[in-house]
Structure formats: C-alpha cells, structure tokens
Amino acid sequence: MSVRSIRHTAEFAARLRRELASFGVRPAGPYEVAAARSLAADLIGEEIVSADVLDRVQRQTAGVSLFVTEEEDALCGVLAFVLLGDALRDAFDPRLR
C-alpha cells in the first residue's frame, strides 16, 4: 500500500475545513507546524511526533491533519489527527502498532 493513499479527496478536505472553521479552527500553515508541535508538547509532553513528521503528514493529507486555533493573535489550541490503517501507521512510525 502506498503512502499516497492517505491523500484525501478535495471534497473531503473542503468539508473538513468548513466544519472545523465553524469552531474557529483552521488548518495549520507550513510556518505554524513547529509552533503547534511545541504547544502540544508543552501540554502533553515531549514524547510526541516531531515537527518534521507533522509537516510531512500535513502536506500528504492536503492540509487536513494539523489544525490550530488562536485567540488575540496567539496560538492557543492544536488538533492533530490522521486516519490511517495498520499499513499506513507503519509507514509513519512502526512503534504505533
């Protein structure tokens, strides 16, 4: 199975962006990935995926894996997820099994 299969349809990506936008949540831009990872690490600990991996997954999923929210122009929330099967989880990090 190819990692390319994590790419979402344009319709799915648009719907996800639209639904989350109603809560003030938007896709993280490439310049925000490191800051989003840093906030997540502060909240839940350093044993999380690297900023490089987050950036790669964000690009491979058409920008619908890492979302952020802001208050008063400051990053205040992070939502990260990717819908993967067993083979795709192994492609990113075999330790996830």
What is the tens place of the pLDDT at every residue in 44-89?
A: 999 888 999 999 888 888 888 999 999 999 999 999 886 655 666 6
The whole model's pTM is what? Answer: 0.76
More confident position, 63 or 90? 63
Average pLDDT, rounded, for the chain: 83
**What percent of the chain is predicted at pLDDT more than 90?**
48
Torsion of CA 49, 41, 78, 67, to 10 degrees: -30
Q: What is the pLDDT of residue 9?
A: 72
